[in-house]
Amino acid sequence: DAKTTQPPSMDCAEGRAANLPCNHSTISGNEYVYWYRQIHSQGPQYIIHGLKNNETNEMASLIITEDRKSSTLILPHATLRDTAVYYCIVYTGTASKLTFGTGTRLQVTL
């Protein structure tokens, strides 16, 4: 599975957009970009995934660069409940298992 690089921590003011970057320069053509988050010590929770097109769901938006070497997860209006560790993972979706890095710790503040 391709390796990902994320900043260890970020801050965001409540109500503002949180933009979490991820580099995955060795991503293969059949690998998707998945995002999960882990709130405190709970089990990780799936947020969104994409292959090459930008994606949006009720939780977030995912912007993938044209060369697919990086992506950005956008939480459009961050709330205190979005404080969590966010993991960017690349994998094929079915053929292999998830490999978690250390993620980005997002702190949303008043």
Partner 1 sequence: DADVTQTPRNRITKTGKRIMLECSQTKGHDRMYWYRQDPGLGLRLIYYSFDVKDINKGEISDGYSVSRQAQAKFSLSLESAIPNQTALYFCATQGLEPPNEQFFGPGTRLTVL
Q: Does 53 bind partner 1 (CB under 8 A)?
A: no
Q: Which residues contact 46 (CB under 8 A, 6 or more apart)?
A: 34, 35, 36
Nearer to partner 1, 9 or 79 (CB): 9
Task: Pick the piece of the chain touching partner 1 (CB under 8 A) from 23-31, 41-49, 61-69, 70-78.
Answer: 41-49
Q: How many residues bind partner 1 (CB under 8 A)?
A: 19
**Is residue 102 a contact residue for partner 1 (CB under 8 A)?**
yes
The strand pairing partners of 107, in sequence order, are 11
Return the SS3 of 59. coil
- Pick the closer one to partner 1 by CB: 12 or 48: 48
Residue 7 sits in the site that holds partner 1 (CB under 8 A): no
Torsion angles phi and psi, residue 44, rounded to 5:
-55, 150
- Residues constituting the chain: 110
Please report which helix (H) or strand (E) contains residue 58, including its range: none
DSSP state, residue 101: -
Chain contacts with partner 1 (rule: CB under 8 A): 34, 36, 41-46, 49, 87, 93-94, 97-103
